[in-house]
Amino acid sequence: MLQFQSVGLSYGATRALDAVDLRIEPGEQVCLIGPSGAGKSSLLGLMNGRLSASDGAVCLNGEDLGRLSGKSLKEARAGIAWVPQDLGLVPNLRVNQNIACGRAARKGLLGILKSLLVMGKGEKEEIAALLRRVGIEEKIFSRVDHLSGGQQQRVAIARALYQNPHIILADEPVSAVDPERAKSLVGLLTSLAREEEKTLVMSLHDVSLARRYFDRVIGMREGQIVMDGRPDEIGLEDLYRLD
């Protein structure tokens, strides 16, 4: 369970988040919506400890992430996957090698080097099975920069799943694709997360996608939560509050 207790975050004089209280239960599918600069990325950055709160506490299963460091922080992070806006793939590596990087925390340096240079048959098969679920199994040994934008997004999703996390964080992963492809990718990620009972927190711009695929929608504006509820509870006046 993820819990925010009166969390504030400042970048110098700029207040990115202000007194945020939030509780996300295991297995929930949560969508963050709001205009640019509303604080969605900052909220996601606090969830996996990439950022430290200026005040308040961000707790993961009761443990304050801000107080963790070294090995305990790495262990906590190993259970949280992150799909950034630019996907964070290494373009000159093959798909299987990129996906293997999802387990960097568990493998360590030697394990990762082994996966990159001489990947074992078992690992290849495991990755192939995962790629089958995201629909690009035949691309397992292709270089990532030889794939289309949509296929690259699927690789990023597969890498997140390969990490076998409890929580998946996705920061506007479909901001640069057409509406049809965005629909199919958000649908894929939410269905995979549901199947495996993983918590999913995704930031989006598109309200219709948020309404269609998520259990819960959180609206943000100027660093504060201005709306939080089930998709069918979102009214027109709620959307006005976001602008």
Helix or strand holding residue 14 (H, E): strand 14-24
Among residue numbers 31 through 90, which ones bind other proteins (CB under 8 A)? 48, 50, 73-78, 80-84, 86-90
**Cβ pair 12, 22 in contact under 8 A:** no
Q: How far is the CB of 119 from other proteins (least distance, A)?
A: 10
- For residues 144 and 153, give the distance between their C-alpha atoms in angstroms, rounded to a whole number: 10
Q: Which is nearer to other proteins, 19 or 112 (CB)?
A: 112
Q: Which is nearer to other proteins, 31 or 101 (CB)?
A: 101
Provide the minimum distance between the beta carbon of 39 and other proteins in the complex, in angstroms, as a whole number.
18
Do residues 85 and 171 make contact, with C-beta atoms less than 8 angstroms apart? yes
Rounded alpha-carbon distances, angstroms, from residue 190 to 109, 212, 231: 32, 10, 14
Binding region for other proteins (CB under 8 A) out of 17-25, 142-150, 207-215, 233-241: 142-150
Confirm or reject binding of residue 94 to other proteins (CB under 8 A). yes
DSSP H helical ranges for 13-148: 40-47, 70-78, 95-100, 104-117, 121-134
Residue 149 lies near other proteins (rule: CB under 8 A): no
Q: Which of residues 170 and 192 has its CB atom nearest to other proteins in the complex?
A: 170
Bridge-based pairing of strands 2-11 and 55-60 is antiparallel
CB of 237 to other proteins, least distance (A): 36
Cβ nearer to other proteins, comparing 125 with 178:
125
In the complex, what is the shortest distance from the CB of residue 62 to other proteins, in angstroms, rounded to a whole number? 19
